[in-house]
Amino acid sequence: MSTADHTIETDAGRETVSAYLADRELPQVSGAYQLYPTRAGRPGIAEHPLPRPSRHPDGPVDRISRMLATGNGLARHRFLTVSGARAFLPTGAPGWGFDEQHVMTTLLRLVASGGAAYPVDLWLLSAGTPGLPTGAHRYNPVHHALTQITDEDPRPRLARALGGPVSDLTIVLTTRLERTTGRYGKFAHRLHLLDTGHTLTQLLVAGKTLDWECTPRLSFVDDEIEHLMELGDETEIAFAVLSVGPTHDVTPASDPAPSRVPTVPDRYPQEVLGAVRRSEPGEELNFGEITLPGDPVRAMLRRRSPVGGFVAPAPTMEALEPVAAAVDAVLAPLGGHCMLVPPKDPRVATKIGAPGHRLNLSLAGVLVPVLDLPALVEKHGPGAFRAGAVAIGASLQAGALIAADRGLGTFPLCAYDGPGIEQSLGLPEASTMCVAPIGVAAHVGAGLEVPL
């Protein structure tokens, strides 16, 4: 492709992404789901069980087991439920009384997801680390195992995709498009990127606690990564890559991967997906450091606690500042920041009324991550949309963990009046993708357990 053709294509991609960002119509939730088969669990597919995650893993297999379980695994939670309430005092004064109390046990993911669809899957690319077979493996969170898809050394192809040094262990975050698109249509693309950011933060926090050097990579060649995992006609897209451990130079593969046009469900914005895909490695738009909670495991479990529930005194705005600072630290290198708005501020409170049943007396404030995505796309090209949206998701999860570490609860909220909030707060157009009400958490989970 000539320089002129590349410039024309890039400009067209910018316009496509800008038009998508300008369309702020709220999603029309549908009850229709589109289900597609997956290769996982088919006869003839090798599956390698992983050791049970522990707080103090020993060796690369135990450590990668911990990381994958933290990023996309299932944790057993115990909740106290009550029935037959005899008194309810909204002032929070003494006078509670219940006929029965029950302890409910359930399995939950450790991250939030739009519509609880959980479209993000994790893949492990191994170069033959002892205990981990060479090749591409899909992580199976139900059985806590790796499903082997290929047995080739992924590093030469990975070096071509990333355009630089690679590590012996690499985690790829993919998205199963149909899991969310059936309900949210073209709005699903934003939810997929935010969900990718949530999961990426979990992996980065796990890497820090394991003293493992982890580097997120968002400007890779899409065709090369997806060819490694033999996605073919699957409705699955790679949105982020995480290098785990030290990197080193590897001779890149000499032949390019075949061009892939991803299979997408109906109503998915294929033109936007095509605009942000890269044909060659680009400039990395690195977001900031993830603030580590005091007790990461406890924070991740409490992260799943809902906002509200039992009436409790709301914390002061000063107590929420560390949460906003954690969001701000992630977005600052990209030119973004976080606004912390009081819960009854009419500039925001009147524009997030969709989940009104959750915004009860426990609500303490609203986090508003701000990142001028149109300006980022204009400066760095259409691929910057993916990096910026993932960074917003990563920042919200970082803030949620700090909040949970302090006994607070949050939930990301995308169904809100975005243009109204931006106009009221004097923000650039299309500079918000999600807000996060924050308040007192009602329940606390038990220890991290993964069923085997």
What would the pLDDT profile of 410-421 be if each residue is shown by its tens digit? Answer: 878 888 888 999
* pLDDT level of residue 388 (50, 70, 90 thresholds): very high
Q: Could you report the per-residue pLDDT of 93-134, keeping only the tens digit for each?
A: 444 444 445 556 667 788 888 888 899 999 999 998 888 999
Q: 193 has which bridge partners?
A: none
Q: Which of 69-83, 141-155, 336-350 has the highest mean pLDDT?
A: 141-155
Which has the minimum average pLDDT: 7-11, 75-79, 424-428, 446-450?
A: 446-450
Pairing of strands 337-341, 214-217: unpaired
* pLDDT level of residue 77 (50, 70, 90 thresholds): low
pLDDT number for residue 139: 95
Q: Can you say whether the dihedral through the CA atoms of 198, 200, 205, 209 is positive or negative? A: positive
- CATH class in words for 1-30+290-452: alpha beta
Contact by Cβ (8 Å): 181, 236: no
Mark out the alpha helices in 146-295 (DSSP H runs): 155-162, 178-184, 188-209, 222-228, 270-276
Nearest to 323 by CA among 334, 315, 312, 311: 315
Contact by Cβ (8 Å): 413, 349: no
Q: Give the long-range contacts of residues 349-356, CB within 8 A, separation 24 or more.
A: 350/420, 351/416, 351/417, 351/420, 351/421, 351/424, 352/413, 352/416, 352/417, 352/421, 352/435, 352/437, 354/413, 354/415, 354/416, 355/411, 355/413, 355/415, 355/437
Residue ranges of domains in the chain:
1-30+290-452, 46-69+112-276
Task: Name the average pLDDT for the chain.
Answer: 82
pLDDT number for residue 104: 60
pLDDT number for residue 41: 43
Mean pLDDT of 401-429: 88
What φ, ψ does residue 280 adopt, rounded to 5°?
A: -150, 155
Amino acid, single-letter form, for residue 31: G
Which has the minimum average pLDDT: 24-28, 176-180, 279-283, 288-292?
A: 24-28
pLDDT number for residue 451: 32
pLDDT number for residue 131: 86
pLDDT number for residue 409: 79
Contact by Cβ (8 Å): 285, 216: no
Reply yes or no on whether the pLDDT at 304 is more than 70. no
Q: Could you report the per-residue pLDDT of 263-273, keeping only the tens digit for each?
A: 898 889 999 99
* pLDDT level of residue 446 (50, 70, 90 thresholds): very low
Reply yes or no on whether the pLDDT at 81 is more than 90. no
Reply yes or no on whether the pLDDT at 358 is more than 50. no
Give the C-alpha separation, 319 to 401, whole Å.
14
CATH 3.40.109.10 fits 46-69+112-276, yes or no: yes
Contact by Cβ (8 Å): 355, 435: no
pLDDT number for residue 435: 92
pLDDT number for residue 443: 42
Greatest Cα pair distance, the chain, in angstroms, is 75
Distance between alpha carbon 271 and the CA centroid of its chain, in Å? 22
Give the C-alpha separation, 223 to 234, whole Å.
13
Q: Which of 126-130, 210-214, 327-331 has the highest mean pLDDT?
A: 327-331
DSSP E strands, 318-362: 337-341
* pLDDT level of residue 357 (50, 70, 90 thresholds): very low
* pLDDT level of residue 185 (50, 70, 90 thresholds): confident
Give the global pTM: 0.87
pLDDT number for residue 28: 58
pLDDT number for residue 291: 95
Answer yes or no: same fold for 1-30+290-452 and 46-69+112-276. Answer: yes
Percent of all residues in the chain with a pLDDT value above 90, rounded to a whole number: 50
Contact by Cβ (8 Å): 377, 434: no
| Region label for 72, one of left (φ > 0), alpha (ψ between -120 and 50) or beta (otherwise) | alpha
